[in-house]
Structure 1
Amino acid sequence: MTNTRVEAAYRRANTAFRNPTLDLLHGRYAPFVVAVLSLLFTADRPTVPVADAHVEVDEMISELRAAGYDEEDSPRLPAGGAREICRYWVRVGWLVPQIDDDVEVYRLSAYAVGALEIAGRAGASPTRVSRSRVRTLLEAVDRLAEDADVDPHRRLERLLRERDELDAQIRELQQGADPEPVDDESLLEEAENVLHLARELPADFARVAESIKAMQRDVIADLRRDIRPTGEVLREYLQRGQHVMQSTAEGRAFAGALRLIGDPERIDHLATQLRDLQLRSFASLLDDAQRAELDAIGRRVEQGVQEVLTAQRRASHVITAQVRTHDPVRDRQVDELLRSVMSGLQTWMQDSRPGSRVEPLRSFPHADVGHLRQTTSDLVPPGAPAPLAEARDVEFLDGDAQAWGGPRYTELEDYVAGLGDWFDLGGAFEEAADETRRPVDLLGLLEIAHRNGMEERDDVSVVEALRPDGTTRRFAFGAVTARTAKQENHD
């Protein structure tokens, strides 16, 4: 049983040391990596342009080599230039390249942030078991117990007890009592506890952002392998793109925390509190690094929130763009083509010899379609089509189809001719026969009025048209007075 427990513990430890965080700290050049990354990336500089990073890393290497830290018998600096070193850090997962405003930049991965945090804690003064840290633990346990308790009576008793304590403190202050002062040593312990808690945040934010990016890569890979109908794929993956923050455990946890720290007013209030604390007497007990770290808490929180939200927006955009261009048929064709190429390559490798050359395909072959027929060789000369017959001479076999046709101009013109010199178009349409009171006949009547001459009035005419199926429809238009016949101009 002991061997089994030891083996299990060894496997867990071996897995842990394969983590890039411990790999960074356990590597041969760990002091160099920690020193360079801690100087290259700061709270005010979370990303560095790639070109600038290469120049700065080159300068740091030159200074350390000039100071004698790269001895031949025991080299403590990696070989190669800054470009090769940074590319290696990207490959092992310590740096993450990305594009910001059309500029390629580096940022620390969550593993590197965690490693720098561990190195920073180890190099700083040892953490003390203080009243502040114990109280933080007890308060966290109390909040957990309160949130887990669903008994309304116990919760009511607890709230009443807290209210009584607050009322007692308010009465004391109202009666002129001075609040009990807190000594600087206790305030220093509180500040150190705040710094300890704040050091965890950058790595937490980075892990959330990287979990969203990993989810994005998984979604795109799943999408390319998906053979379901495109409509079903679109609905599922567009929904995942819109709710990307809820797709990972880290994202869901961050969404809950964002309700506390996402309010700009709360961030401004935090920055104000941190500035005020710098003016207190206990702040003089902090060293320069601690004061700078305390002052940077607000910026670190704001930058961490922005980093996660940027990763969320980028993942939503990438997933949506991939879904919109997703074509399962084309993807399968590309996969089949690549498989056929790999199969042909494997077949060629079996018979080929070292130094064998493959003649490249410089152009696609042309299809040989022969001679296309250009004429039909019709012996009958082309003739003109028969003239169109007059509409009144055409026999309609279906009376309903004719009823749904266009305006009956002949009937309308005959009707208008008997209305006198001028007529109100709305009134004339209302008094027309049912078969010429269709919606299209109203348009025909307006066309005749426009052709013969009309005058528009300020009032509105409202008419009711009758369709062939017996349904009606009301129309409103500017009132029109029209002539019954077109007036000729005589010189």
Structure 2
Amino acid sequence: MTGSRAEAAYSRAVAAFSTPTLDLLHGRFAPFVVAALTILFTADRASVPIADAHAELAEVMDELRAAGDEDDRRIPSGSGRDVCRNWVRLGWLVQQIDDEVEVYRLSAHAVEALEISGRTGGGRTRVSNSRVRTLLDAVEHLSDSAEADPVRRLARLHAERDLLDAEISRVEESGRADPLDDDELLEEAENVLHLARELPADFTRVAESLKAMQRDVVAHLRRDERPTGEVLREYLQRAQDVMQSTAEGRAFAGALRLIGDPDRIDALTEQLSGLLSQPFARLLDSSQRAELDAVGRRVELGVEEVLAAQRRASHVITGQVKTHDPLRDRQIDDLLRDVIAGLHGWSGTAAHVDPVRSMPLIDLGHLRQTTSDIRPPRAPAPLTDADDVDFVDHDTRAWGGPRYAELEEYVAGLDEEFDLAEAFRHIPDATRRPVDLLGLLELAHRNGLTEGDGISTVEALRPDGTTRRFAFGSVIARSTKEDADD
């Protein structure tokens, strides 16, 4: 039995150390990796554009190299781009597209490794009253949730109510809240930080499970192992309800009912702000204060990360279902297999490959060697002056634009200043059309006008004999008579 237990324990340890989490913490460059990821990714910066990450990581590496090797610093070789690509290969970074920008995000393994590193380097772990009470409260809540005996459930609820009533009576009688002392409040705050550090890894793990489910759905759809109709019905349903397709997604859906309410997030932010203003908060160091202040934002970003992964998975699955073509997918798979087989054939040392000495020529037939002259053979005829045009139908000219020549002649015969509406009323009928009112306003604007506070109304006469009334702000215009005299 001892041997079997030892072998099982050793197998579990080997499996644990083979995960990217412990691989990150146990590697040769572990201190550098933890420091760099901590700088690149913060509670308010869950994703970093790839180009920015490469540049910032290169600056960190240059700064550490310039600082010397006094502390036996181990910094990987290569550029920031090379190091980031290696981290993606090792499973510490994840590439994805957010708002049409390619970004890096921490994987769940990297988040968990940073959490372990931060918890270990943040001071000793204390078995505090707060942490034990959290455990006891969780066990008690679990016991209450699993209780099926109504009598025992009622007895426990009555006991809780009696304690609350006693506390209410004590506060009402004494008029004092009697908060805990600063040391106990500090323990409570450290317990809150301990719980908050576990959230990012949980959120990232849910998002990655959704991505894995998405890849599984697309792979099954491409295999076309079942009738197309059956595949479409099943996976369209999974696309509509993707959050219920994994155990992690179902757990997050339950948590979302608690923390997904914007009012609850706002209340959490206000509570944290109030805690930081309490006297006991001075016992926290600057990093703990910043971490406590960012708890609300960390929860909000975690929820956004999972919901974004859900939307992305639904979009990809729906797009695959809409564009699914079994014949085309099978052809692509066959082509890829042929390419891979050909590459394997070239990989041996004794393989003979005929070089390509020239590219094949395509037969295009006879191409035209000349083009026609795009210049016109002669210049177009000059435009005919309007006075020489003979209109077939005079009614057509009557429905045209303003008659500026007649309007200018009419305005020149008026006083130096005149009321535009009164002038329009006395204009000849042939020039009292609606378009001529616009032309008269244009001439008034050109020669100078003054707008009054009143409203003027005029009646315009159309060529077919119908009339139309117009209202506009009163205008005192100037004629061109004075300019003509000059």
* TM-score (norm. length: structure 2): 0.70
Listed as ranges, the matches of 1:108-127 within 5 Å are: 108-127=106-125
Task: Report if aligned partners of 1:130, 1:189 keep a CA contact under 8 Å in 2.
Answer: yes
> In structure 2, how many angstroms separate the alpha carbons of the residues matched to 1:347 and 1:180?
80
Size of the aligned set, in residue pairs, is: 364
* Aligned equivalent of 1:278: 276
Cα drift, residue 3 of structure 1: 2.6
- Of all paired residues, the percent bearing the same amino acid is 67
Task: Report if aligned partners of 2:210, 2:309 keep a CA contact under 8 Å in 1.
Answer: yes
* Aligned equivalent of 1:319: 317
> In structure 1, how many angstroms separate the alpha carbons of the residues matched to 2:148 and 2:363?
77
> In structure 1, how many angstroms separate the alpha carbons of the residues matched to 2:341 and 2:62?
51
Cα drift, residue 178 of structure 1: 2.2
Choose from 193, 196, 214 the match for 2:194.
Answer: 196
Listed as ranges, the matches of 1:416-435 within 5 Å are: none
Task: Pick which of 210-219 and 223-232 moved more.
Answer: 223-232
Cα drift, residue 229 of structure 1: 2.1
Residue 11, structure 1, aligned to residue 11, structure 2: yes
Q: Secondary structure at the match of 2:289?
A: helix
> In structure 2, how many angstroms separate the alpha carbons of the residues matched to 1:207 and 1:260?
19
> In structure 2, how many angstroms separate the alpha carbons of the residues matched to 1:197 and 1:316?
31
Q: Secondary structure at the match of 1:175?
A: helix
> In structure 1, how many angstroms separate the alpha carbons of the residues matched to 2:275 and 2:244?
37
Task: Report if aligned partners of 2:47, 2:105 keep a CA contact under 8 Å in 1.
Answer: yes
> In structure 2, how many angstroms separate the alpha carbons of the residues matched to 1:163 and 1:204?
34
Unmatched segments (≥5 aa) in structure 2: 365-486
Task: Pick which of 356-365 and 303-312 moved more.
Answer: 356-365
* Aligned equivalent of 2:35: 35
Q: CA deviation digits over 1:224-275, x for unaligned, max 9?
A: 1123222211110011111111111111111100110000000000000000
Listed as ranges, the matches of 1:54-69 within 5 Å are: 54-69=54-69
Task: Report if aligned partners of 2:345, 2:351 keep a CA contact under 8 Å in 1.
Answer: no
> In structure 2, how many angstroms separate the alpha carbons of the residues matched to 1:336 and 1:178?
79
* Aligned equivalent of 1:255: 253
Q: For residues 317 and 167 of structure 1, do their structure 2 counterparts lie closer, same or farther at Cα, with a shift above 3 Å needed?
A: same
* Aligned equivalent of 1:207: 205
* Aligned equivalent of 2:306: 308
Listed as ranges, the matches of 1:177-256 within 5 Å are: 177-256=175-254
Listed as ranges, the matches of 1:47-446 within 5 Å are: 47-69=47-69, 76-339=74-337, 353-357=351-355, 362=360
Task: Report if aligned partners of 2:346, 2:353 keep a CA contact under 8 Å in 1.
Answer: no
Task: Report if aligned partners of 1:70, 1:77 keep a CA contact under 8 Å in 2.
Answer: no
Q: CA deviation digits over 1:270-315, x for unaligned, max 9?
A: 0000000001000000010110000000000000000000000000
Task: Pick which of 228-237 and 248-257 moved more.
Answer: 228-237
* TM-score (norm. length: structure 1): 0.70
Task: Report if aligned partners of 1:64, 1:70 keep a CA contact under 8 Å in 2.
Answer: no
Task: Report if aligned partners of 2:346, 2:352 keep a CA contact under 8 Å in 1.
Answer: no
Cα drift, residue 107 of structure 1: 1.2
**Which residue identity lines up with residue 287 of structure 1 in the other structure?**
D
Task: Report if aligned partners of 1:227, 1:328 keep a CA contact under 8 Å in 2.
Answer: no
Cα drift, residue 349 of structure 1: 9.3
Cα drift, residue 180 of structure 1: 2.9
> In structure 2, how many angstroms separate the alpha carbons of the residues matched to 1:148 and 1:83?
52
> In structure 2, how many angstroms separate the alpha carbons of the residues matched to 1:165 and 1:315?
48
Cα drift, residue 358 of structure 1: 6.3
Q: Secondary structure at the match of 2:156?
A: helix
> In structure 2, how many angstroms separate the alpha carbons of the residues matched to 1:193 and 1:201?
13
> In structure 2, how many angstroms separate the alpha carbons of the residues matched to 1:295 and 1:259?
23
**Which residue identity lines up with residue 179 of structure 2 in the other structure?**
P
* Aligned equivalent of 2:379: none
Alignment RMSD, CA only? 2.5
Q: For residues 102 and 341 of structure 1, do their structure 2 counterparts lie closer, same or farther at Cα, with a shift above 3 Å needed?
A: closer
* Aligned equivalent of 2:423: none
Q: CA deviation digits over 1:319-339, x for unaligned, max 9?
A: 011011112233234334555
**Which residue identity lines up with residue 27 of structure 1 in the other structure?**
G
